[in-house]
Amino acid sequence: PRVAVIVVAAGSGTRLGVGAPKAFVGIDGGSILRHALDGVFRAPAAQVVVVAPADRVGDALTQAHDAAGDRRDLVTVVAGGETRQASVAAGLAAVWGDVELVLVHDAARALTPPDVFARVVAALDGGADAALPVMPVVDTLKRVDGDRVVEAVDRATLTAAQTPQGFRRTVLAQAYAAATGEFTDDAALVQAAGRAVTTVPGDALAFKITTAADLDRARSLLAPRVI
Ligand code: CTP
Ligand code: MG
């Protein structure tokens, strides 16, 4: 396929704090990773590289094969690293064949709708080197110095970044090869390499499961409706 999706699932989930790697925590009958993979496989066929904790590679492969159905040949699972950036690098090294576009997706954004993937790919097909989904910021924002407010910040010039973040494969590979510091997301890393990054509309359902409250929200979104 022309597109590869790297699903990073190698984090420990410190803030969720359930004592198991976050991606392997159940939402309903299915784990966070399984729901993320179901979303990936609802989008058009792509090569899928899952990045899992080293001691969960087998478990991740089983889940990925279950999610893939008759597309299991498109699945690879590799072990991640200490940081998200190291995990993405491990995933990128496992992309094979003549892939042109690479999307990097947080497993923790388990309920991301397939439309978001489509918008990112469409922006790349339109010529962008890098594209990421964003959401408007809803809170009123203040810049602070300790507990003192320095100034109000105009939220109209700010957005909240989501995943999947998409890149021309060559652009992402060159940016990772050149990266010196740690970046909070792949778009920041690519921007530091001097590339333009474009935005597409994100989706509220692409929220990241970070805390126990986020997991509760995911659970209620998936719960059967009582009428
Ligand atoms: N991730 C990863 N490898 C790491 C760290 C994070 O693959 N070394 C992945 C996580 O599995 C997650 C995504 O990157 O899908 C976003 O990270 P985050 O939400 O911060 O997850 P964790 O790092 O697991 O959580 P925490 O920061 O609370 O420990
Ligand atoms: Mg983290």
Domain that holds residue 170: 3-222
> Which among 112, 113, 107 is positioned nearest to 24, based on CA atoms?
107
> Which among 97, 92, 96, 23 is positioned nearest to 57, based on CA atoms?
23
User: How sure is the predictor about 224, in pLDDT bands with cuts at 50, 70 and 90?
Assistant: confident
**How much is the pLDDT for 148?**
97
Q: Is the CB of 107 under 6 A from ligand 1?
A: yes
Residue 17 in any domain: the answer is yes
Q: Is the CB of 9 under 6 A from ligand 1?
A: yes
Which ligand places an atom closest to the C-alpha of 211? 1
> What are the two backbone dihedrals, phi and then psi, of residue 105, each rounded to the nearest 5 degrees?
-130, 135
Q: Which of 6, 12, 85 to mutate to test the pocket of ligand 1 (most atoms within 8 A of CB)?
A: 12
Structure token digits, residue 219:
């659970």
**How much is the pLDDT for 45?**
80
Q: Structurally, how many domains does the chain consist of? A: 1
Residue 227 in any domain: the answer is no
CATH number, domain containing residue 94: 3.90.550.10
**Rounded average pLDDT over 107-125:** 98
**Rounded average pLDDT over 36-48:** 93
Q: What is the ipTM of this complex?
A: 0.99
Residue 79 in any domain: the answer is yes
- Cα of 126 vs centre of ligand 2, distance in Å, is 32
